[in-house]
Amino acid sequence: MTKTALVIGITGQDGSYLAELLLSKGYEVHGVIRRASLFNTDRLDHLYNDPHDPTTQLMLHYGDLSESTSLRRICDQVQPDEIYNLGAQSHVRVSFMQPEYTADVVAMGTLRMLEVLRDYSAASGKAVRMYQAGSSEMFGASPPPQNEETRFHPRSPYGVSKAAAFWHCVNYREAYGLFIANGILFNHESPRRGETFVSRKITRAAGRIKLGLQEHLYLGNLDARRDWGYAPDSVEAMWLMLQHPEADDFVIATGEDHSVRDFLDKAFEMVGLDWTKYVEIDQRYMRPSEVDHLHGDASKARAALGWAPKVDFDGLVSTMVEHDLVLAEQEKTLKDAGHSITPRGQFADG
């Protein structure tokens, strides 16, 4: 029987890979998108068909985590078997500038979704399953390695909001017997990563600098260490969590960590450049309180879900640099034809 999934945050990095995975497994996929003045479905365009085509398996609906009415109506209309809550203001630095908004979407938005889930489960009689996108930012200052037993000590409004969302999910699981799985995912990247996250900022700059389209790369703290994995590996773990017999919480990580400097070394080495000649430190990219060292221990997911990462750090950086070199070549063609090219990733103060 065809399963139906509802993905909140389908236009994001993970949402697009998850939609691909679910469609490949024969799911009917519905996504919640926000109204924007420009189209914001770039990451989905290769999957999307005309909704008037009766065979289409991917449908998009306007809604927002700040409005429970829209979530409720979409749920009632779509009748999902599985709900993936990936929606968030997901940028840590931005969360210091927009703390109330971040808390509203990330923490309150999850609570709104849980209330919808609670009523929809009761009314439909379905054994609905929900995935909540938790984050290693919840561990924050707790020393590595971090696993499911590690104390939360978040260091940003984003991290605090994700921790609140995590506990709301645990509470709804215990109070109402709902199937809700919290993923605690460490950083995961890809060629679809937003361009203001450090990995993509670096790989975009490496390609552009190589082709003479950009002179400098402005960054913040180069000493932070992260457990960087590959986004398609991560979304597979989300799906596995909802196929597990019991709702539980799982750390998803590679078990390897690297500094921002290491990322720069690898990415610039691939394009044959010395990054120290191009990188400048800009205080705008420093955080009022930093998370210094994340290194996850995903043994529980490995044992219970059979999950393991398929792409390592070198493979991840290579995939991103190769992709962004092609993008830079396209930009160069446009520039040579008289169009203006702007490195937007380092415009805003986030």
Residue among 129 and 293 whose Cβ is closer to ligand F7E: 293
DSSP for 57-91, written as a single string:
-EEEEE--TT-HHHHHHHHHHH--SEEEE------
* Closest to 64 (Cα-Cα) out of 101, 20, 24: 101
Q: Is 289 one of the catalytic residues? A: no
* Of 68, 79, 221, 299, the one binding ligand F7E by CB under 6 A: 221
Is 232 one of the binding residues for ligand NAP (CB under 6 A)? Answer: no
* Of 65, 75, 116, 219, the one binding ligand F7E by CB under 6 A: 219
Is there a contact between 177 and 121 (Cβ–Cβ < 8 Å)? no
Is 64 one of the binding residues for ligand NAP (CB under 6 A)? Answer: yes
> Strand 179-185 relative to strand 279-281: parallel, antiparallel, unpaired?
unpaired
> Angle at which helices 260-270 and 198-210 pack, to 10 degrees?
30
Q: What's the min distance (Å) between Cβ of 279 and ligand NAP?
A: 22
Task: Choose from ligand F7E, ligand NAP, none: what does 92 bind? Cβ within 5-8 Å by kind.
Answer: ligand F7E
Q: Is 158 one of the catalytic residues? A: yes
Three-state DSSP class for 116? helix
Is there a contact between 60 and 5 (Cβ–Cβ < 8 Å)? no
Task: Choose from ligand NAP, ligand F7E, none: what does 226 bind? Cβ within 5-8 Å by kind.
Answer: ligand F7E
The alpha carbon of 313 is separated from its chain's Cα centroid by a whole number of angstroms, namely 17
Task: Choose from ligand F7E, ligand NAP, none: what does 112 bind? Cβ within 5-8 Å by kind.
Answer: none
Is 14 one of the binding residues for ligand NAP (CB under 6 A)? Answer: yes
* Of 99, 194, 220, 255, the one binding ligand NAP by CB under 6 A: 194
Encoded tokens for 298: 């995903």
Q: What's the min distance (Å) between Cβ of 74 and ligand NAP?
A: 11
Q: Is 90 one of the catalytic residues? A: no
Interaction pattern, residues 142-181, with ligand F7E; x per rule: CB under 6 A:
----------------------------------------
* Of 32, 92, 106, 270, the one binding ligand F7E by CB under 6 A: 92
CA-based torsion, 257, 260, 265, 269: positive or negative: positive
Q: What's the min distance (Å) between Cβ of 248 and ligand F7E?
A: 20
Q: What's the min distance (Å) between Cβ of 190 and ligand F7E?
A: 11
What are the distances in angstroms from CA 248 to CA 5, 130, 131, 132, 175? 19, 11, 10, 11, 15
* Closest to 7 (Cα-Cα) out of 31, 28, 24: 31
Is 287 one of the binding residues for ligand F7E (CB under 6 A)? Answer: yes
Residue written as tokens 């930012």? 137
Encoded tokens for 156: 């940003």
Angle, alpha carbons 239-242-243 (nearest 5°): 90
Given 158, 172, 189, 331, the catalytic residue: 158
* Of 12, 80, 157, 309, the one binding ligand NAP by CB under 6 A: 12
Interaction pattern, residues 122-151, with ligand NAP; x per rule: CB under 6 A:
-----------x-x----------------
Residue count at the site for ligand F7E (CB under 6 A)? 22
Rounded Cα distance, 43 and 303, in Å: 32
Residues at the interface with ligand F7E (CB under 6 A): 90, 92-93, 135-137, 186-187, 196-199, 201, 219-221, 224, 226, 260, 285, 287, 290
Residues that are catalytic: 135, 137, 158
